[in-house]
């Protein structure tokens, strides 16, 4: 049939890894092996290698909860914790829950308030049969991209000293809704003074002017992990059936109407960047025409990340 050929071509061109129909044995990821976990906690293979964890696997449930919580915060940053386990060089996130604190950018010790909640929640969870431990925290950056700010970096470094293994996840709910794709990033910081041997090329993302300095100063102190998702066979089945019901929502939602202000904000930010580039140019010395001037403009416009030592 034509459509199958077209679909296969498209899948090939876009490197879509075919997800084999999950059989019940793939559900074993849900099994929590306490003995193996305790052993790996004792062995601590991550203590020697700052780049030990390379992958993150997030369950469907955790993703859903985190995105909904991030979106419900609107333009306020929200945060929560993630529960899961480790598996070799991968951290597996099974579930997430929200914390009743807001605004991590301004309150450095928001974590202290939330500890009581976290302890209560973990205890009740263990009673109800969820045996995993907390393996990380997530928070949202509404509208300004997935990266770690200065405060985030220091919080995460602290966490990685005392609560290993720990992971930081950032979600941008505004960009998610406007682009129709989940905007999420998982990070781990390097310990103080560690210089990464190879410089990974990170994917370019536009960051508003007022945040760009914060981004630039710290962007070398952490690295991003690959994120993949998993779901159980029952989840697969249910989600397939769910599609029968909510295709109406897909058609009826219009990203234009929902994100008018966000797009307008992005445009004005871009205009500001252009103006700044122009000013920068008039103040710099007038060197050979053409190349250097264009280079400066291009640099500021498209790669405005100023790196500190």
Partner 1 sequence: MASSSSSGLTFKLHPLVIVNISDHYTRVKSQLSLPPSLTSTSSAATSNNNNNNSNGGENNQNPPPRVYGCVIGVQRGRTVEIFNSFELIYDPSTRSLDRSFLEKKQELYKKVFPHFYVLGWYSTGSDAQESDMHFHKALMDINESPLYVLLNPAINPAQKDLPVTIYESELHVIDGVPQLIFVRSSYTIETVEAERISVDHVAHLKPSGGSAATQLAAQLTGIHSAIKMLNSRIRVLHQYLVGMQKGDIPCESSLLRQVSSLLRRLPAIESEKFQDDFLMEYNDTLLITYLAMFTNCSSTMNELVDKFNTTYDRHSRRGGRTAFI
Q: Which of residues 154-173 bind partner 1 (CB under 8 A)?
A: 173
Report in angstroms how near the CB of residue 28 gets to partner 1 at its nearest: 4
Exposed/middle/buried for residue 266 (C-beta within 10 Å: 0-12, 13-18, 19+): middle
CB of 303 to partner 1, least distance (A): 12
Residue 44's alpha-carbon distances to 48, 49, 51, 86, 254, in angstroms, are: 8, 10, 13, 11, 48
Determine the straight-line distance between the first and last CA of the chain, rounded to whole angstroms. 58
Under the binding rule (CB under 8 A), the answer on residue 177 touching partner 1 is yes
Among candidate residues 170, 205, 212, 209, the one with its CA nearest the CA of residue 189: 170
Least gap, CB of 266 to partner 1 (angstroms): 10
Task: In angstroms, give the least distance from the CB of 228 to partner 1.
Answer: 8
DSSP per-residue letters across 65-101:
HHHHHHHHTTTS-EEEEEEEEEETTEEEEEEEEEEEE
Considering only residues 85, 139, 141, 231, which one is a binding residue for partner 1 as defined by CB under 8 A?
Answer: 231
CB of 24 to partner 1, least distance (A): 7
Residues 110-149 that bind partner 1 (CB under 8 A): 117, 120-121, 124, 127-131
Smaller CB distance to partner 1: residue 130 or 211?
130
* Residue number, 59 or 160, with CB nearest to partner 1: 59
What's the Rg (C-alpha) of the chain?
22
Q: Does 92 bind partner 1 (CB under 8 A)?
A: no
Tell which residue, 141, 146, 152, 31, has the closest CA to residue 92: 31
Residue 230 DSSP class: E
Among 45, 88, 191, 258, binds partner 1 (CB under 8 A): 258
Q: Of the candidates 249, 282, 307, 308, which one interacts with partner 1 according to CB under 8 A?
A: 249
> Which stretch in 41-49, 84-92, 155-163, 285-293 sits in contact with partner 1 by CB under 8 A?
285-293
The verdict on 244 binding partner 1 (CB under 8 A) reads yes
What does the block give as tokens for 80? 């929560």
Binding flag, residue 256, partner 1 (CB under 8 A): yes
**Cα–Cα distance measured from residue 123 to residue 117, given in angstroms and rounded to the nearest whole number:** 10
Given the complex with partner 1, which of 46 and 65 has the nearer CB atom?
Answer: 65
**Do residues 241 and 234 lie in contact, with contact meaning Cβ atoms separated by under 8 Å?**
no
Q: Which is nearer to partner 1, 48 or 109 (CB)?
A: 109
Rounded least distance, CB 67 to partner 1, Å: 4
* SS3 label, residue 209: helix
Applying CB under 8 A, does 6 fall inside the site for partner 1?
Answer: no
Q: Residue 290 has what DSSP assignment?
A: T
Q: Classify burial at 186, counting beta carbons within 10 Å of its beta carbon; exposed 0-12, middle 13-18, buried 19 or more.
A: buried
Q: Give dist(CA 219, CA 136) in Å, integer.
A: 20
Query: Given the DSSP bridges, would you call strands 78-87 and 184-189 parallel, antiparallel or unpaired?
Result: unpaired
Instruction: Check binding of 84 to partner 1 (CB under 8 A).
Output: no
The answer to the question of residue 229 lying near partner 1 (CB under 8 A) is yes
253 touching partner 1, by CB under 8 A: yes
* Interacting residues with partner 1 between 15 and 34 (CB under 8 A): 15-17, 19, 24-25, 27-28, 30-34
What x/- string results for residues 44 through 73 when contact with partner 1 is judged by CB under 8 A?
A: ---------------xxx-xxx-xx-xx--
Shortest distance in whole angstroms from residue 214 CB to partner 1: 22
């Amino acid at each position: 049939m034509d459509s199958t050929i077209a679909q296969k071509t498209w899948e090939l061109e876009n490197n879509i890894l075919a997800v084999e129909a999950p059989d019940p044995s793939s559900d074993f990821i849900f099994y929590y092996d306490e003995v193996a976990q305790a052993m790996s906690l004792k062995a601590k293979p991550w203590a020697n290698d700052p780049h030990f964890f390379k992958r993150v696997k997030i369950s469907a449930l955790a993703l859903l909860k985190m995105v909904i919580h991030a979106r419900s915060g609107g333009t306020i940053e929200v945060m929560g914790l993630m529960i899961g386990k480790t598996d070799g060089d991968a951290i597996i996130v099974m579930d997430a829950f929200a914390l009743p604190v807001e605004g991590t950018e301004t309150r450095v010790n928001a974590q202290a308030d939330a500890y009581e909640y976290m302890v209560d929640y973990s205890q009740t969870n263990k009673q109800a049969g969820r045996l995993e431990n907390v393996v990380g925290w997530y928070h949202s950056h509404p509208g300004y991209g997935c990266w770690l700010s200065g405060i985030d970096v220091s919080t995460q470094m602290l966490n990685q000293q005392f609560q290993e293994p720990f992971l930081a996840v950032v979600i941008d709910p505004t960009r998610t809704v406007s682009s129709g794709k989940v905007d999420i990033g998982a990070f781990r910081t390097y310990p103080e003074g560690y210089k990464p041997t190879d410089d990974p090329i990170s994917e370019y993302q536009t960051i508003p002017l007022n945040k760009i300095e914060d981004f630039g100063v710290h962007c070398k102190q952490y690295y991003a992990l690959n994120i993949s998702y998993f779901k159980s066979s029952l989840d697969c089945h249910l989600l397939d059936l769910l599609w029968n019901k909510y295709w109406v929502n897909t058609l009826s939602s219009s990203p234009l109407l929902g994100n008018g202000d966000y797009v307008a904000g992005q445009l004005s930010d871009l205009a500001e960047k252009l103006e700044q580039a122009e000013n920068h140019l008039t103040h710099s010395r007038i060197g050979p025409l053409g190349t250097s001037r264009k280079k400066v403009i291009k640099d500021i416009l498209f790669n405005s990340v100023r790196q500190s030592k």
